[in-house]
Each structure stands twice: as C-alpha cells, then as structure tokens.
A and B are shown apart, each in its own frame.
Chain A
Amino acid sequence: MQSPEQSPERSPTLLGLAALAALAAGCAASAQPAHPQQAHPQQAQLDRPLAPATRTARLDVALGQPLAVAGQKNKVYLKVGLTGLALEDAGDRPPVNVSIVLDKSGSMGGQKLHQAKEAARLAVDRLAPSDIVSVVAYDSTVRVVVPATKAMDKRTIHHGIDRLSAGGNTALFAGVSKGAEELRKFFDRNRVNRVVLLSDGLANVGPSSASELARLGASLMREGMSVTTLGLGLDYNEDLMAQLARAADGNHAFIERASDLARFFELEFGTVLKVVGRNATLTIDCAPGVRPVRLLGRDGDIVGQQVVVRLNQLYASEEKFALLELEVPPGELGGRMPVARVEASYGNLLTQMTDRLRGGVDIGFVATAAEADRARDQSVMVKAIELVANERNRMALMLNDQGRTREARQVLQDNAAWLDDNFQRYKAPSLQKLKRANNEDASNLDGENYRRQRKKMRKRQIEYDMQQMY
C-alpha cells in the first residue's frame, strides 16, 4: 500500500490527530468521541512513534466524507481498519503450524510436480525448528507424506516430499480435510495454523462444488485455521479455489507457470510468518438514525444498527479493513452528529492476550457539496472506489459467464472510465492500475483468453476484497 497523494485542497486547519493517535495507541481511554477527522494514518505514525510498551494493533476509524451537506440524507463510506503491529525482528514472530497440501493427480505429472516439490522444499527451509510442518498429498486418495512434525529434521521432510509421484484423480476436499487434521495434532490457538493448498485441476472425488469447499473453509476458519489456495495452470476451478480461500481467510493466487511456484510459496510463507493476530472482529454500532446500507468487499452480519465483520488474521504492519456504506440522516448546518462506535477485538499472538480496541467517528455538516467534497478523506475514498470497481468487475464476470459478453465488456469499459475519472481526481496510482486491469479484462472476454483472464479476475477480486498481500 502506498501512502495517499497529498490532496492540494485538504483543509490544513482541521486536524484530529490527537484522537487518532489515541486510537492508534489502542488504550481504552480512546473511547472519547473523535473530532472531525482528516485521517492521516501514516503521518500520525510519524508524528507519534508507537509506544514501545503497548504491543497491539492499531485501529483506524475514518469516514470518506467527514463533512456532509446539511439538511439532506447523505451516503458516506466508513472505513474501519486494523493494522497489525510491526515485528521488530524476525525471531519475534509467532510460531506457525502449517500443512502443505499438494495435488499429485495425473495432471501434475512432470515439470509441475517437480517444481511443486522444489517449492515445498524451499518453503520448509524457511521455517524455524519450533515451527510445525506437515505435507499431505492427494490424488484419488490422500497420503500423509510428512505427518505433522517440528521443522527440525528438514532432510527427512525433504525426503518425504521427494518421494511423491503423480497419478490419479483429484480428491481436493479430502486433501484439505486431512491437511486440517494434521494441523489439529499440534493445534494451538497461539500458532498460525494454515493449510497451503496447491491444485492444478478440478476436484472430482468427494464433495467438489465451490460452495461445499467454501463451507468447509468456513468451518475450518471457525476452528482457527486458515486455508491458502494456489491455483496452478489454466485448468483449476478458480471459483472453488477463490471461495475456499475467502471463506477460510487465506490467500489465493493464480500461478500460470510452474516455474513461478517457488516464488509464490515464498510469498505465501512470507505472509504466514507475518501473522500477528487472529480472530480479529469488528463490531460497528451505528448511531441512531444512521442506516448501515451494505458492506463493500468483505462479508459481515448486518443486524439492525449493528454490523459485525470478521477480519480474522492480522499481519504485521498490514492493514485489514472493513468498508461500510452508510446513510446519514439530515443534520444541522455547522452541527456534528455521532456516526458509529467501533469495537475491535483480536487474539494477539505475541502476547497471547485478547486485545480490545475502541473507537468512534462523527460527521460535520456544511452548506455546499463543494465544501464537503474538499474535505473528503482521500485514502478512504480510494479504497471505497477500488471496492466498488471490484464489485462491478465481479458483475461483469457473471454477465460474461451467462454469455452476455457485450454487456460484460460494456460494464468493464464503463468501470475503467469511471476509475480513470477518479484517478484524475485522487491521483492514486492504484486506481490507474485497476483501470488498466479492467481494460485488459474487457479485451479478453472470449474463448481461450477468457479462461486465463477469468482466473486473473477472480484472483484480483479476492485480493482487493480481502486486502491480500500478494
């Protein structure tokens, strides 16, 4: 994530830094209502170095539109982010318990399996002796190649990986289930418990639908495990793999060439080794009169005025956030109105405590739209735009799947144009990147190209929705 561009029209007079810093410190004292916020997270961090004694995540609550036009209903975006604390040194990280689940079905034969084995070996090499690793391979049936063990005797683990050979069908559900079972052997809530699944084909033994795998993922996540899905080549079911990763709070990647496997394992293990929090949950209570309309990107429960969103795992120095669209009732000119109170809780893997952070946000009312627009929080708006664009991208994919390619292309082109407008306004490079991606999508909606592009789209969608690191 890059720091937002300085917007020239930002009002320098309204600085709510004190409140933000208090939130960042995460102490219970920050419960006082926040003042009009021109959130500047990075700047706040620079201004006030993190208190060394408090090893907690940072909660940021900000509105995309801190000022609204008085006397009318306003649609605003609320962003609630949790940033995992920075790891001071690598040895500091929480221990991991990871199960590598490899597809060794017939289609993996040759170079693919060879590269996968090499990648798995390299990944194992990154683990510390106190970490736990297991390797499960599946085709029509499942074999536990390396039962869960401390990553001390790496030669034995390598040896187990080396003996794999390809052949058979794809019992993906069973493979993940058995990978999870290996995690359970040394299950500890204070470890990072993750299944890393590699597959290059369609699941065809056992439950094989995207929704069944997603429900399995959700069930594993409730148990405290996450599942990362690495899709290799052009033949895997990207819906299944993306939904599984999404439900189980893992990463999802599209790896077109087997030669890139090592890099992706490297990336994945990089994120695994950066997990600092688990079970992060945001509870957002909207003020009376404020109506939660919908969540962008993430799923959550909206019941009446209360919105509950699970962010699940937190990564060191990485922000995970929920973006909520709200309808704010008409306010008086010059007046202020509380919008929402937020409580965040998560299991801190470093202190092994459950941390609770609280925050809130209110909104001010001005006379004109121009005034309100000038006060917009660029970083929140950019994120909101990304997620809205993401949603449209998903819609285009659905249309194209239904054979309505012309409409799909139109949606994507409109999306790109809209992103371009917003890029002109906010100057955020991420918007330009997304615009280009949508244009690329628009021109690859047919035939063989779509097979590849669809995987790219699914990957991008989950990446933006869930703030994935790669």
Chain B
Amino acid sequence: MRPRLALVLAVLVLSPLVALAWLGVRLTDGEDRAVQVRFDGVIAARLDETAEAVKRVIAALEGDLLAATDDLPPDAPALRSRLRAERRLGHVLVFDGEARLSFPPPDGPLSADERAFLERTRGLWENRDFARPAAGDAAQDGGVVPGWYIWFWAGGLNLMYRRPLPDGRTVAVEVDRPRLLAAVIAALPTTERAPSTGTERLTLVDSSGRVVYQWGAWEPPAGLSPRLERALPPPLEAWRLTWSGPPPPAPSMAGLYAGLAGVALALLGLALWFYRASTAELRRAARRVSFVNQVSHELKTPLTNIRMYAELLDDALWDADDRTRRHLGVIVDESQRLSRLIGNILTFARHQRDRLTLRPTPHRPDALVEGVLAQFEPAFAAKGITIEADLDAEHRAALDADAVGQILANLLGNVEKYAADGGRVTVSTRQPGDTLRLTVADAGPGVDKAHRARIFEPFYRVSDRLSDGVAGTGIGLGIARTLARLHGGDLVLEPSAVGARFTATFAAPRAEPAGGAAREELS
C-alpha cells in the first residue's frame, strides 16, 4: 500500500516536471535558433560591408588607372619616362590598332625589367584576341571593353586592367599583386584594443586559400571552419572573406531552471502533504484495527468462559423445561456466533499485520466438518434450514483445523444470514489425492453478477433488499479466502442454477494411515 502511494505521488510530481522541462527546452531551443539567425544576420551585414569596402578600393583603383592611361604618349622613350613618373602605373602593355604589341617594343631595346615582364606575359600579348579593338557594339563582338583581366601565374591571381584608348590603341596595365593587397589591407579594419573585438576574427583568404589579412583579437582554435563566408566582388571573386568567432551566448536558462525548481518544490510540497494526510488516515485505521483487536482480545476470554459455562449449564439442565432449554440454546448459539466474529476480527488483524500463519496437523476432514455442522444445527433448525451433508473425506491429512472450521463457519454463517429462505444447505466434501474440496451450496437468492468479483474484498457488503437490515462486518468471505489461499488452495464462488455455491480447496497432504490416527485420538 505505502510503496504504491509513493510511486503514484512520484509520478504525479515527476510527470508535470518532465513535461515542463521538455517544454522549456523546446522554448529555449527555439529562442536559441532565433538568436543564431539574428547573429548570422549581423555577421552577414558585417561581411557585406567589408566586401563593399573592398569594392570601393577596386573602384578607386580603376579610376586611377583610367585617369593615368588617358593620354599615354605614343613613342617608347616618352612612354618610359611617363611610366617612371607615374606612381599609379606599373608595367603596361600597349597594343596598336591591329592588336599588335607596340610597347614594350618586342624587337626594340628593352630594359631587363621589361624583358622579364614580356616573358611572363607572353601568353597574353601573343594572343591577338587579348587586345582586339571593339568594332561597333563592343559587348557583342567580344572586343576589349574597359575592365579587368585575370590570369593565374606564379601561384596566385594576377590582374590586368585593359582599356581601349581614344586613339585606337589598347593598353593593359599590370596591377602588382602586393600593391593590390596593400591597398585592400589599408581599407580594412585593424584589431583595436577594445575588448569587444575579442569576440571575432575576420579573415581575407586568397584564391589558393592563404590568409592575406585578418583582424579581430579572437584566436580561432586550429581546424575550426569559419561560421560564415563571402566571396569578394569582381575581379577578386576567387577571394573569400570569412568570419569566425565563438557562437552567440545561448539564451539564459536560469529563468527556466528557477521556474522548474519552483514548480518542483510546490509539487513536492503538495505530494508530501498528500502523503502525510493519507498515511495519517492509514495510521488512524491501524490504530482503529489495533483497538478493535485489543478489545476483541479482551472479549475473547470472558466469552470463552460464557460459552464454557453455558455449555456446562446446558449439560446439567438436560432435564429442564423447554423454555429454559431454549433460552440456554440461544445463549450457546449467540456466544458461538460472537466467538466466530471475534475469531474473524483477530484473524483479520493478524493478516493485516502479516502475522497470520497456519499450523497444519493431521485431521480427518469429515470429523472437522461434522463438528462445525453440529454447532450450526440448532440455529439452522430454528430457522428451518435443513443441512444435507454429503461427506466423503475420510483420510487423515495435514490440515489447520481452526482455518477449515473458520472457513466453513463463515460460509454457513452467510447461509444463515442471507439464504435462510432457501430452506436447505448442502455441504459436501471430497478428498482427491492430497487436496480437500469443501462445497457449501444453498438455495437462497444467490450472488448478483455485479457483485461476484467483489464479495471477497474486505468490508464489502452486498447491499440490496435481501441483505438490508442484516448485520455483518463484511470481512467473513475475505478472511475465508485468505485462509484458503494460505492453506495452498482457494475459495471461489462457483456458478450454479440456484443459490450460491462456494467451493473451498485446501492442500491437504495425507498422513500415514495407522500411526497418525492413533496420535490424533490421543491429542
């Protein structure tokens, strides 16, 4: 009873807690995802902004190159001195109107530097399409329009800015990679001292995956891949900007935990209160049982005396007048009934305290049954109930005489109480092997179907017109079944055409035929 209560209470406490925790986690999870999305949005904006800054650098560079190449002198010496004086230009390739290289003059005198430049750009200027002037709609016929030309050489991206000149020539300006890098780096932020920059690391990675530049004080652990990436605008689309940093702080779980703890505490308090209340009830019931038990004990001795003296008196007054004898009979019957009642209460109490044990000793079953029947005879006779005994259990077997007697008495008591109208009761015994079967069948109203399952429960009393006004404790059948089961058998209500038919079975190992009987006689 108590462990079950504790289990129920635990379930009552835990299930809402688990449900709440689950809900809370789901909520936090959702919140966390929302935070992540917002966070990514902020980073994306940062990266876009940075890419925009790089775009501005490139636009400025383009502007510089356009301005610096607007009026390139025609001949090589003048071009050379212009290039020397012009800080915005590096090496250039100039092509004439037929897309032939005119500077640096491939067959004229060259400086060592120019020769090296021609050598590494040979693939470009030998290709006539590289500087084919546009005729008409430039975009359509694939001629040169002002713009970037990318080629990969010396382990990285190299840039040329190509444009047709107003005089029909085409010029391609080499943009030195380190120069471009330095210009891009100059436009990007630095790591400042503010502690807030300790939460991120932005990195510019070139086409071969090398770090070109990075800022932000956060040091990403080795092997961590960036959270977000962006390609740079053309012509640096092979480069990437990456953002790494610690994940955003998860939404605080403190509130959730506090709430859960509060609810858990309240539930626990409630459960404790219920537990204490219900155990108080149990304690009260236990006290009541123990009180009744004590009282019954107190009653047992005087009642035994009353019975003994009433029976003695009955023997002594064998010749008294009928009226006296009838009065005596009533005293004997009632004291026997009371004695059974007290026996039931004591048995029930012992059962409640798990101290009900049986002590089987060798008995002849029919003798036990006959003894009980003899007790009931006068009362049954008074009520007009005839007893039909069909006894066939002659072999001595290990039986607890008190238990068998109590069971039979309870069954007969019920017949007396509820089935007196039937006018007869059949008691039969059978002893197949090591079992004893005892059947009590009456011709009364029987047990309604609805109650059959519950008549063995303690304190359950079938309440209908028939039993109304009949006194009873409601423990008789329960005690009887408990005793039968303790005795290795059972007590069942068997289906029958009329009345109620109870069959009790007992495990009754037969005793040795001869010696056992002698001892029984002696005891």
Segment of B213-221, B348-356, B483-491 engaged in the interface with chain A: B213-221
B177 x A215 contact (CB < 8 A)? yes
* With A212-B177, A303-B110 as contacts: A219 and B214 at CB distance below 8 Å: no
* With A141-B217, A215-B178, A216-B182 as contacts: A224 and B111 at CB distance below 8 Å: no
- In the assembled complex, the CB of B206 is this many whole angstroms from the nearest CB of chain A, namely 9
* With A140-B219, A171-B213, A173-B181 as contacts: A301 and B111 at CB distance below 8 Å: yes
A207 x B215 contact (CB < 8 A)? no
Residues B181-204 near A (CB distance < 8 A):
181-182, 185-186, 190-193, 201
Main secondary structure on A side of the interface with B: mixed
- In the assembled complex, the CB of B269 is this many whole angstroms from the nearest CB of chain A, namely 55
- In the assembled complex, the CB of A240 is this many whole angstroms from the nearest CB of chain B, namely 12
List of A residues within 8 angstroms of B84 by Cβ: 281, 308
Q: Is B176 an interface residue (CB 8 A)?
A: yes
Residues B63-85 near A (CB distance < 8 A):
77, 80, 84
Q: Of A141, A216, A308, which is within 8 A of B215 by CB?
A: A141
**Complex Cα spacing A281 to B176, Å:** 22
- In the assembled complex, the CB of A179 is this many whole angstroms from the nearest CB of chain B, namely 10
* With A141-B216, A205-B211, A303-B80 as contacts: A219 and B178 at CB distance below 8 Å: yes
Q: Is B109 an interface residue (CB 8 A)?
A: yes
List of B residues within 8 angstroms of A220 by Cβ: 182
B182 x A143 contact (CB < 8 A)? no
- Size of the B side of the interface (Cβ < 8 Å), in residues, is 33
A216 x B178 contact (CB < 8 A)? yes
* With A171-B214, A206-B211, A206-B213 as contacts: A163 and B193 at CB distance below 8 Å: yes
B185 x A178 contact (CB < 8 A)? yes
List of A residues within 8 angstroms of B185 by Cβ: 173-174, 177-178, 181, 206
Interface string of B98-113 (1 = CB under 8 A from A): 0000000000011111
Q: In which size bucket is the chain A interface?
A: 35 or more
A207 x B190 contact (CB < 8 A)? no
Q: Is A223 an interface residue (CB 8 A)?
A: yes
A142 x B215 contact (CB < 8 A)? yes
- In the assembled complex, the CB of A66 is this many whole angstroms from the nearest CB of chain B, namely 28
A177 x B192 contact (CB < 8 A)? no
Closest residue to A307 on the B side, CB-wise?
B111
Q: Is A304 an interface residue (CB 8 A)?
A: yes
Q: Of A180, A207, A219, A301, which is within 8 A of B113 by CB?
A: A301
Q: Is B2 an interface residue (CB 8 A)?
A: no
- In the assembled complex, the CB of B183 is this many whole angstroms from the nearest CB of chain A, namely 8
List of A residues within 8 angstroms of B201 by Cβ: 141
B190 x A303 contact (CB < 8 A)? no
**Complex Cα spacing A245 to B130, Å:** 36
List of A residues within 8 angstroms of B110 by Cβ: 303
Interface string of B153-185 (1 = CB under 8 A from A): 000000000000000000000001111011001
**Complex Cα spacing A180 to B186, Å:** 8
Q: Is A55 an interface residue (CB 8 A)?
A: no
List of B residues within 8 angstroms of A176 by Cβ: 182
Q: Is B212 an interface residue (CB 8 A)?
A: yes
Q: Is A31 an interface residue (CB 8 A)?
A: no
Interface string of B295-332 (1 = CB under 8 A from A): 00000000000000000000000000000000000000
List of A residues within 8 angstroms of B112 by Cβ: 301-302
A177 x B215 contact (CB < 8 A)? no
Q: Is B449 an interface residue (CB 8 A)?
A: no
List of B residues within 8 angstroms of A222 by Cβ: 87
Residues A117-167 near B (CB distance < 8 A):
136, 140-144, 163
Q: Of B111, B179, B190, B217, which is within 8 A of A216 by CB?
A: B179
Closest residue to B218 on the A side, CB-wise?
A141
Q: Of B176, B186, B216, which is within 8 A of A178 by CB?
A: B186
**Complex Cα spacing A144 to B112, Å:** 39
Q: Is A184 an interface residue (CB 8 A)?
A: yes
B179 x A219 contact (CB < 8 A)? yes
**Complex Cα spacing A180 to B185, Å:** 10
Closest residue to B86 on the A side, CB-wise?
A222
Closest residue to A212 on the B side, CB-wise?
B178
* With A178-B186, A184-B186 as contacts: A205 and B214 at CB distance below 8 Å: yes
**Complex Cα spacing A178 to B185, Å:** 7
Closest residue to B215 on the A side, CB-wise?
A141
* With A143-B191, A178-B190 as contacts: A207 and B214 at CB distance below 8 Å: no
Q: Of A177, A223, A301, which is within 8 A of B181 by CB?
A: A177
List of B residues within 8 angstroms of A206 by Cβ: 181, 185, 210-214
- In the assembled complex, the CB of B67 is this many whole angstroms from the nearest CB of chain A, namely 16
A142 x B190 contact (CB < 8 A)? yes
**Complex Cα spacing A142 to B111, Å:** 38
List of A residues within 8 angstroms of B210 by Cβ: 206-207
B111 x A215 contact (CB < 8 A)? no
**Complex Cα spacing A212 to B180, Å:** 11
Interface string of B447-474 (1 = CB under 8 A from A): 0000000000000000000000000000
List of B residues within 8 angstroms of A143 by Cβ: 190-193
Q: Of B176, B186, B211, which is within 8 A of A177 by CB?
A: B186
List of A residues within 8 angstroms of B212 by Cβ: 206-207
List of A residues within 8 angstroms of B176 by Cβ: 215, 218-219
List of B residues within 8 angstroms of A216 by Cβ: 178-179, 181-182
B211 x A304 contact (CB < 8 A)? no
**Complex Cα spacing A306 to B81, Å:** 11
A223 x B87 contact (CB < 8 A)? yes
Closest residue to A168 on the B side, CB-wise?
B219
**Complex Cα spacing A171 to B210, Å:** 12
**Complex Cα spacing A290 to B164, Å:** 39
List of B residues within 8 angstroms of A205 by Cβ: 211, 214
Closest residue to B175 on the A side, CB-wise?
A219
**Complex Cα spacing A173 to B181, Å:** 9
The 5 nearest A-B residue pairs measured at CB: A304-B109, A301-B111, A219-B179, A181-B186, A141-B191
Cross-chain pairs A/B with CB under 8 angstroms, 5 sampled: A140-B219, A171-B213, A215-B178, A216-B181, A306-B77
Known contacts A142-B190, A216-B179, A301-B113; 6 additional CB pairs below 8 A are A141-B215, A173-B213, A178-B190, A180-B186, A219-B182, A301-B112
